Structure 1
């Protein structure tokens, strides 16, 4: 998470995106629920749903798709027979590429993070390690965003 925030805050992504002439196509909105939702109950409900999605839903769905299917399919069309600890170079390269494509506004941070989690999963062979790491990262990032008002990261 520190690498993600550092890469985003150092302004690496805007420079890369400007170089690619893509900065306007991947701009993120900066929705601040503390200023946009005046009713405390509605704001608390929004934050609870947002954090449930960040910490529970997104990690499971994204990791099922990426590590449960895509990486193993790249290794073999009979993907269900491939262990995560037996992935080849092509399959291992897919994760950071996927990260950059699905998080273009934070491409550098995504490549670093997806590479680290791919290393973890390739080392342990356990799918749920990726889900837990993803959930913890998203929780910490969500807390950082709320505490420090860095809504552009959310």
Structure 2
């Protein structure tokens, strides 16, 4: 009885690479990127190039297999999440300055692009491309494709996409919220909505579309209003 278990675990570990590696590289760059001291626009070029290379090298088959089955509802949900994301700060000017959102644990709000570099069209274009195209793919592979199934069972590849358990559903939403620092509250709502749509559709392609619409709408809002705090 031990032999099947011994062979199943390495298989699951290796098969997790396409689901996890792009997100891991993304998070590593966020953490270590500033210490590299690469000047703009080369930092933006390098970041997009690295993320794109990792996605194509290790996750290409997953990306090709993505299918959108509910286009209009997914677009509308994506726009709805965008509204949720900006609404508190637009309705209440001092909302985000409360200690619940900016503190030693969640951090403080600061844009990831210095003001003088926001005038560079290439830097801004690459930021929009990363937010609207690359991030939805690499985050959804991890947050909705891998992690909930791994929480359900360590032999996660045997767990169908969109499977529901309370721990997986709530746990991934909480972790997703923690990724967004001072915006954890809207990040939590976003995570719950995305998880619910994943459970409803069982379609990772639809989640990528929802996420892409949210991020694209937010990017457009930032560029029009110059509220760069949303680009952390």
Q: TM-score, normalised by structure 1?
A: 0.84
Deviation at 1:21, TM superposition (A): 7.3
What is the RMSD of the two structures over their aligned residues, measured on CA atoms?
Answer: 2.3
Match for 1:14 among 97, 104, 108? 97
Q: Give the paired residue count.
A: 148
**1:82 aligns to what?**
159
Q: Is the counterpart of residue 44 in structure 1 residue 134 in structure 2?
A: no
Mark the runs of 5 or more structure 2 residues left unpaired by the alignment: 1-81
Match for 2:191 among 111, 114, 119? 114
Deviation at 1:97, TM superposition (A): 0.4
Deviation at 1:45, TM superposition (A): 1.1
> In structure 2, what is the Cα distance between the partners aligned to 1:64 and 1:38?
30
Give matches, 1:1-154, under 5 Å.
1-9=82-90, 10=92, 11-15=94-98, 18-19=99-100, 22=103, 26-30=107-111, 36-37=116-117, 43-154=120-231
**Mapped contact 1:75–1:82 kept (Cα < 8 A):** yes
Deviation at 1:129, TM superposition (A): 1.2
**Mapped contact 2:151–2:167 kept (Cα < 8 A):** yes
Greater C-alpha Rg:
2
Mark the runs of 5 or more structure 1 residues left unpaired by the alignment: none
Shift in alpha-carbon separation, 1:21–1:48, aligned structure 2, 3 A = closer
